[in-house]
């Protein structure tokens, strides 16, 4: 009987535990885990939350602070630049920072230009008090990202973007502060080739290609080259046909009947042959009697 009672009691405790676990609200699974709150203060008594925005002591700045889910004190701050006066006065967001783990210290900050476009974002992803992620934006798109993945204070990965798409990556795999691996990506985000530095001179010694992508690329280039050659040949043949067309020969656009080799001579000169000179009749100088001409004889020859 004792064994039966103990077994029933164990089963009852197990069922109660499962019921309590399943009855907990689902939101609690996704709520941020708050680190121990450590509130620091400046000499004047104001809270030192590791702010990375420039707003303290500035009259041209306005600050708006809010508390997110689970936060005891405000953990998000937006800083506005105040421009203009009177009816022209307006606020422009220039900085935003957040305490993501609710430990009382801001660990993500983003700065904006006067148009409200993102410029930079710095983050402390492991909450050790040092920035390890730096993002740079250009025309509302991320253009570069630097990461310190071993948290030694030096970046070991550099990502480069074009139009918001990843195109190149540099990595420092041996943690000497210099890149030794390069990655090149296609327009659709696929890794195309990898360059490796074998002698630590920051130059690629070997390229490793994705054979499938390289085959597709080479086939595309070959087709483009063939199309270009075919187009050039067709244009060359078309020029030969135009030159051999008799309707295009001897056309004169001057309106005077063609080129003239000599005034009054409309006979075109043939290539390779000199134009014969015209014979002009001899003239008698003035004051002289022209020589007598003998008319042809009309006497029949003797029989």
Higher-confidence residue of 275 and 227: namely 227
Report residue 41's pLDDT band, with 50, 70 and 90 as the boundaries.
confident
Quick one: average pLDDT of 192-210?
92
Per the model's pLDDT, the better-predicted residue between 273 and 94 turns out to be: 94
* pLDDT at residue 212 tops 80: no
Answer yes or no: is pLDDT of 107 > 80.
yes
Confidence of residue 12 (pLDDT cuts 50, 70, 90): very low
Instruction: Look at residue 298 in the predicted model and tell me its pLDDT.
Output: 55
The Cα-based distances of 294 to 24, 127, 179, 282 in angstroms read 148, 135, 115, 18
Q: What is the pLDDT of residue 149?
A: 94
- Other Cβ atoms less than 10 A from the Cβ of 52: the count is 17
3-state SS, residue 242: helix
Decide: 184 and 193 in contact? Cβ < 8 Å: yes
Residue 13, pLDDT score:
44
- Which residue, 9, 33, 197, is CA-closest to 127? 33
What is the reported pTM? 0.58
Structure confidence at residue 6 (pLDDT)? 41
- Please state the rounded mean pLDDT for residues 138-167: 94
The H or E element containing residue 303 is: none
* pLDDT for 247: 62
Structure confidence at residue 243 (pLDDT): 63
Q: pLDDT class for 235, splitting at 50, 70, 90?
A: confident
Nearest to 181 by CA among 162, 153, 200: 200
Report the pLDDT value the prediction gives residue 263, as an integer from 0 to 100: 47
The pLDDT score that the predictor gives to residue 1 is 44
Across the chain, what does the average pLDDT equal?
Answer: 77
Model pLDDT for residues 237-258, shown as the tens digit of each residue: 877 666 666 665 555 554 454 4
More confident residue, 296 or 66: 66
In order of 62, 154, 217, 235, 238, the CA distances from 231 in angstroms are 65, 54, 21, 6, 11
Q: Under a CB-based contact definition with an 8 Å cutoff, are residues 97 and 106 in contact? A: yes
pLDDT for res 27 = 39
pLDDT given at position 19 = 43
- Backbone phi and psi for residue 243, each to the nearest 5 degrees, phi listed first: -70, -30
SS3 for 39-50, per residue?
CEECCCCCEECC
């Amino acid at each position: 009987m004792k064994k039966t009672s103990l077994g029933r009691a164990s089963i009852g405790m197990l069922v109660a535990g499962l019921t309590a676990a399943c009855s907990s609200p689902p939101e609690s699974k996704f709520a941020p885990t708050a680190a121990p709150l450590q509130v620091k203060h400046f000499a004047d008594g104001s809270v030192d939350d590791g702010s990375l925005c420039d707003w303290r002591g500035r009259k041209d700045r306005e600050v708006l602070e809010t508390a997110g889910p689970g936060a005891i004190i405000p953990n998000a701050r937006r800083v506005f630049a105040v421009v203009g006066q009177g009816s022209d006065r307006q606020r422009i967001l220039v900085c935003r920072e957040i305490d993501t783990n609710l430990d009382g210290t801001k660990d993500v900050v983003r700065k904006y230009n006067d148009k409200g476009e993102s410029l930079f974002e710095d983050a402390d992803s492991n909450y050790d008090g040092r920035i390890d992620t730096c993002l740079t934006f250009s025309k509302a798109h991320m253009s570069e990202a630097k990461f310190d993945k071993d948290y030694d204070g030096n970046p070991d990965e550099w990502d480069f973007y074009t139009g918001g798409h990843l195109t190149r990556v540099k990595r420092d795999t041996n943690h000497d502060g210099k890149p030794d691996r390069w990655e090149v990506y296609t327009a659709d985000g696929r890794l195309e080739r990898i360059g490796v530095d074998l002698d630590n001179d920051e130059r690629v010694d070997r390229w490793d290609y994705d054979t499938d992508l390289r085959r597709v690329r080479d086939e595309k280039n070959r087709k483009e080259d063939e199309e270009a050659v075919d187009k050039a040949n067709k244009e060359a043949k078309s020029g030969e046909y135009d030159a051999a067309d008799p309707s295009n020969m001897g056309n004169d656009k001057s309106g005077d009947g063609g080129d003239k080799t000599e005034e009054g001579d409309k006979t075109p000169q043939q290539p390779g042959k000199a134009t014969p000179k015209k014979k002009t009749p001899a003239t008698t100088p003035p004051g002289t009697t022209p020589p007598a001409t003998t008319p042809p004889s009309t006497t029949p020859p003797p029989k």
